């Protein structure tokens, strides 16, 4: 019986794998699809063993809550409305920090990309700042701006700034010099040169930068909220850890994974819309 289901699903799966053409795609998910039902056996077994080991009391629930515990914690958090409140504040923070950081990153990337002079002035310092870890500057941010929203937003902005900055810069520098000749012959104004040649050509890199920036913003959010907060998914996890509610910590992890994946998918949707002109190898 297992065999018939597999063959029935095969053509669909192949289509799926051709359409999904992304380096960031969830390999586990894709593998599972490819192998059809057989791929689900292992996770099922794992969950079953996990549940049984937990239920029989072999492992303490504060160390590893069972899947059922986690699902129940999830449900309770949804019912009480707590999850929504925390998620809302986290998402707002991430958006604010991302807009600030990515906006500045895009502007700086464009400025540096267009002029070697600006590159000489800005790029070395920015590259130096890029390598400083969040955790190293977080205490400073708190010292300067307190525990409030400002320090958190800035930390997230710092995370979101660099990926889009580097990729925009690179994208602009990779514009085909041959097309510049065409722009000169057709008498493009400076503005048309940017609008019709440089930005579209750099767009794949800029979109990649946005995706990486979103991921970085999300990462910085966790750092910011774990450092000290009274609301947010990070705070919810921190709080749960102190009361040994490990199941809630797991819920937090799942939330971060799912929201991260959703935002990423959104940008990928934008990519397929905006880059339909691209003629590159799309994988098999």
Partner 1 sequence: MTVHIHVMDKSFKKGQTAVQVLRDIRLELEDGEFITIIGPSGCGKSTLLKIIAGLDMDYEGTVEINGLPVTGPGTDQGFVFQEHRLFPWLTVEENIAANLSLKDPETRKRVDELIHIVRLKGFEKAYPKELSGGMSQRVAIARALLREPKILLLDEPFGALDAFTRKHLQDVLLEIWRKKHITMVLVTHDLDESIYLGNQVVIMKAKPGSIGRIIPIELPFPRQRAHPLFQEMRRKVLKEFETADELPLIEGLGI
Residues of the shown chain interacting with partner 1 in the complex, contacts defined by CB under 8 A: 178-179, 181-182, 184-189, 192, 196-197, 200-201, 203, 276-279
> Which one, 243 or 277, has the nearer CB to partner 1?
277
> Which one, 132 or 275, has the nearer CB to partner 1?
275
Residue pointed to by tokens 């925390």: 86
d(CA 93, CA 84): 14
Closest contact distance (angstroms) between CB of 21 and partner 1 is: 15
> Which one, 7 or 279, has the nearer CB to partner 1?
279
Closest contact distance (angstroms) between CB of 211 and partner 1 is: 19
DSSP 277: T
CA angle 94, 95, 99 (to 5 degrees): 115
Going by C-alpha positions, the residue among 130, 126, 157 that lies closest to residue 141 is 157
DSSP 275: T
> Among positive and negative, which fits the CA dihedral 57, 62, 64, 67?
positive
Closest contact distance (angstroms) between CB of 208 and partner 1 is: 16
Closest contact distance (angstroms) between CB of 168 and partner 1 is: 17
Tell the burial category of 279 from Cβ atoms under 10 Å away from its Cβ (0-12, 13-18, 19+).
Answer: exposed
> Which one, 69 or 271, has the nearer CB to partner 1?
271
Tell the burial category of 189 from Cβ atoms under 10 Å away from its Cβ (0-12, 13-18, 19+).
Answer: exposed
d(CA 215, CA 131): 17
> Which one, 178 or 284, has the nearer CB to partner 1?
178
Closest contact distance (angstroms) between CB of 279 and partner 1 is: 3
């Amino acid at each position: 019986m297992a065999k018939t289901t597999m063959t029935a699903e095969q053509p669909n799966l192949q289509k799926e794998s051709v359409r999904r053409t992304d380096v960031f795609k969830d390999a586990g998910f894709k593998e599972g699809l490819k192998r059809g039902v057989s791929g689900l056996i292992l996770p099922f077994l794992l969950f079953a063993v996990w549940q049984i080991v937990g239920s029989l009391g072999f492992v303490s629930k504060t160390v590893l809550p069972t899947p059922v515990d986690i699902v129940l914690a999830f449900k309770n958090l949804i019912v009480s409305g707590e999850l929504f409140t925390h998620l809302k504040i986290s998402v707002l923070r991430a958006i604010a920090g991302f807009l600030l950081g990515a906006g500045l990153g895009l502007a700086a990337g464009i400025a540096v990309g267009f002029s070697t002079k600006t590159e000489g002035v800005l790029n070395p310092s920015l590259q130096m700042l890029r390598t400083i870890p969040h955790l190293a500057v977080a205490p400073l941010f708190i010292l300067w701006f307190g525990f409030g929203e400002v320090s958190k937003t800035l930390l997230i902005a710092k995370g979101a700034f660099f990926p889009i900055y580097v990729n925009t810069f690179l994208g602009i520098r990779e514009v085909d010099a041959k097309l510049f000749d065409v722009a000169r012959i057709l008498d493009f104004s400076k503005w048309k040169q940017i609008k019709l040649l440089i930005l579209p050509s750099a767009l794949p890199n800029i979109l990649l930068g946005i995706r990486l920036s979103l991921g970085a913003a999300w990462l910085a959010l966790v750092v910011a909220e774990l450092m000290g907060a009274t609301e947010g998914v990070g705070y919810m996890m921190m709080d749960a850890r102190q009361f040994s509610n490990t199941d809630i910590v797991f819920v937090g992890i799942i939330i971060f994974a799912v929201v991260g994946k959703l935002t990423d998918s959104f940008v990928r949707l934008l990519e397929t819309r905006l880059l339909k002109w691209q003629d590159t190898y799309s994988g098999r």
